[in-house]
Amino acid sequence: MKRLTILLFGVVFSSQLWSQQCDWPLWDTFKTTYIQDSGRVLDGSDKRQITTSEGQSYALFFALVANDPDTFQQLFNWTQKHLAKGDLTARLPAWLWGKDKQGRYTILDDNSASDSDLWIAYTLYEAGRLWNNDYYQNMGYLLASRILREETVKLSTDERQLLPAPEGFVLGSNVYRLNPSYVPIQLIEKMATVFTHQDWSALRKGSENLIIQSMPKGFSPDWVVYSSKGYASDKKTKGKGSYNAIRTYLWAGMLADDDPFKPKVLKKMQPMVAANIRQGKPPQFVNSRNGTYKGQGSPGFSASMLPLLVSSGKEELANNQYQLVEKTLRSLQDDYYYDNVLALFGRGWYENRYRFTSDGSLQTYWETQCL
């Protein structure tokens, strides 16, 4: 049989690799370890055996990347039934579900998480486009409209911010507690591209300002406060960047190369790249106010840095960290949920399983190669 060579996302592959590339062993392991009860993503690190809307949203995205519509439908059905009381068109999903003090499984906190809602809306819309499913696409539109209406605030005529949730993050008149890792620019750009009658472009502008202006030393904080004076350290976390902020670098690195924001954010994040070079892996904790850092991040942190390192021209370091993740990631225990979802994002991108285009659309390897 002849050996066929093809080009995908700028990387050359031979036909011998595609039988392996069309399978996704890490996703299969994640399903076996973390997805229970016909569509519930379990985080076993919490004794309440919790499920979060974040976990559901990420798993929906991975199921789409893996071209796994059966698991996608199970995840969607469980999310709608248990987190949205049966109707995602009528209410935003609760962010936390699990075992209460009486041992009953139920919603533990019905406040929503806007980043999870954004990922669900985006993934539903893209699933509808890629799988020719009008129902998913319509659900994505309706959820996106609700996010813009209920989870954003208007700062000026051309700038919005995404509140982390509808309740609890308005600190005063025009004072808000925000999270830079909640605003993947590519997802917002997709909404701005397809829902032109809505104010998504203003949310993109506000999100870009949030990301850039909250890291004066090139390190992103977990939380920040916005007021008329600009962006300042959150009093509770005092500029610390760790388990939330690691995603800010992940989303930035995965931006399309021709996205106009990418050069600016890459330049801003080079101190974090330098910290990776110095340590051989990302720091676990950073002080975004003075640029100091300490500790060594988990395998999930290393996976999160892969797109940023590649986009910054540090291919050798990226390969070293990829190999480190392969050797050290604990994927067969249900109490390493966060590391595993970060690994699915970072390794999946590094393995060329998906890309985002400049308009925010999702490109997957299976669209042309795994039919």
Q: Could you give the residue numbers annotated as active site?
A: 54, 115
As a whole number of angstroms, the distance between CA 186 and CA 251 comes to 8
* CA distances for 133 relative to 9, 89, 124, 364, angstroms: 25, 17, 9, 17
Contact 204, 159 (CB under 8 A): no
CB 145 within 8 A of CB 139: no
Rounded Cα distance, 180 and 68, in Å: 30
Among 8, 48, 53, 58, residue whose Cα is nearest residue 187: 58
The whole-angstrom separation of Cα 314 and Cα 356 is: 20
Q: What is the DSSP letter of 331?
A: -
Residue 246 φ/ψ, nearest 5 degrees: -60, -25
CA distance 234 to 164: 14
How far apart are alpha carbons 28 and 61 in whole angstroms?
14
**In this structure, what DSSP letter does residue 292 have?**
-
8 Å CB contact between 66 and 14 = no
Answer for the pair 284, 301: CB distance below 8 angstroms, yes or no: yes
C-alpha–C-alpha distance, residues 96 and 333, integer Å = 21
Containing H/E element for 263?
helix 262-268
**Joined tokens for residue 245:** 């902020």
Distance CA 51, CA 97 (A): 5
Query: What does residue 122 show for φ and ψ, rounded to 5 degrees?
Result: -60, -50
DSSP run (H or E) holding 5: strand 5-8
Compute the residue count for the chain. Answer: 371
